[in-house]
Amino acid sequence: MSGRGPSDRALIWGIATTQLIGWGTLYVPFPLLVAPMEAELGWSRVLLNAALTCGLLASGVAAVPVGRWLDRHGARGMMSLGAVAAALLLLAWSLVHDPAVFIGIWVLLGIAQAACLWNPAMAVVVALARDPTRSITAITFITGLTGTVFLPLTEALIAAMGWRGALQALAAMQIGAAALTFAMLRGAPKPEASRQAGAAVPLARRMRDAAFLGLALCFAAHAFIGVGLAAHLIPLLRERGWPEATVLLLAAAHGPAQVAARALLYAAGRRVTMRSVGVFATLLLPVAMLALATGPASLALTILFVGAFAVADGLLTIVRAAGTAEILGREGYGAITGALSAVAVLPRTVAPLVIALVWEGAGGYGPVPWILAAVGAASAAGFLLAARRAPVTSG
């Protein structure tokens, strides 16, 4: 690469801020918006979650071409355009009255998210940071607070402005993130070296490797759990009859628990590998889901679930970025992570809808935690397979 680009400190703060706003405006508010949209528009919960499903599908389909573009051309233009498009689409969502238009908005939102959220952001860090693993961990300290910040903020905006006004306020925040993205990546070097390296081992060959397949299974299963709970955790907890303040506190506690786990990882430094961290995190996933399943009336077991899931989720966010580079190498990183996202597109897209259908068919969320426990076990099995395999190398 030519030129230096932003310093690690500037990269950490810039990426962390834009990702916190991006996830906080595009994903976190959805479960809080379901009830007021149902009340005003008369749409079913299944329809609303189907729109989210279409957006996740579009995001997964767009991941590979986005990754290839990043490897060849860099991130500034695509990430900036994606962030602006996301803001405009939030504004369009605030004006929606027709279900077909709502679904179309979410398809376009999915494409915008693929261009400006986690995968391209981590490709930037891997390409530009002097110490990518340390930078990624530092970034997640801040992004781990996304729910803690945006759940109460969105709730307050809805109470003060209605769901349409809340979306317009979130769109304004996302415009700020777009401006910061453009300014942060100004002068970033073009990825000539990354382009040449990425061509050394064809993507199709990497996708046939056992390590890739194991990571794909791990991240796909984790995505099913994460996306499904993001859409349904609040109504699931509400169904258990606890006060609204308790429900929101339990949901918001996810962020601080993530940050605590990442702080321990940051302190451990080079004494641990991403392989060992991934094994621990994936084994914790089914433990968390079993706590949720076995204690529907137990606040203590629910708190255990919140803590265990947050720790696993927080660590796996780092493993997905830094662990992929450790296990599969840094060559063609954008295309590889795009392919991993594409493989996960089906579980990501069906998770909210499947859980909504289970809820509808069972008359409640009772079976859902048991399903998620089985999915968590599959995630652990996939990572154990990948961790035992050597990466594909060029030459």
Q: For the chain, what's the residue count?
A: 395
Residue 36 in tokens: 């007021």
Q: Which residues contact 48 (CB under 8 A, 6 or more apart)?
A: 34, 37, 38
Region at 117 (left for phi over 0; alpha for psi -120 to 50; beta for the rest) = beta
Instruction: Note the pTM of the prediction, 2 decimals.
Output: 0.76
Q: What are phi and psi of 186, to 5 degrees?
A: -65, 125
Q: Are 29 and 109 in contact (CB under 8 A)?
A: no
Dihedral of the alpha carbons of 78, 79, 81, 83, in degrees to the nearest 10: 160
- Identify the DSSP state of 389: S
User: Distance (Å, rounded) from C-alpha 207 to C-alpha 277?
Assistant: 23
Q: Are 257 and 306 in contact (CB under 8 A)?
A: yes
Instruction: Give pLDDT, residue 198.
Output: 45
Instruction: Give pLDDT, residue 5.
Output: 65
Q: Are 14 and 176 in contact (CB under 8 A)?
A: no
DSSP assignments along 339-352, one per residue: HHHHHTHHHHHHHH
Short-list 51, 62, 23, 26, CA closest to 342: 62
User: Distance (Å, rounded) from C-alpha 34 to C-alpha 125?
Assistant: 34
Instruction: Give pLDDT, residue 82.
Output: 95
Instruction: Give pLDDT, residue 334.
Output: 83
Dihedral of the alpha carbons of 323, 328, 333, 338, in degrees to the nearest 10: -80
User: Distance (Å, rounded) from C-alpha 275 to C-alpha 315?
Assistant: 11
Q: Which residues contact 36 (CB under 8 A, 6 or more apart)?
A: 158, 162, 163
| Assigned CATH for 8-387 | 1.20.1250.20
Instruction: Give pLDDT, residue 200.
Output: 54
**What are the mean pLDDT values of the chain's consecutive 10-residue runs (395 residues total)?**
67 94 94 94 90 87 88 83 96 97 96 92 85 85 85 96 98 96 79 50 78 95 92 90 90 85 84 91 96 89 94 91 85 85 85 90 92 96 87 45
> Domain coordinates of the chain in residue numbers?
8-387
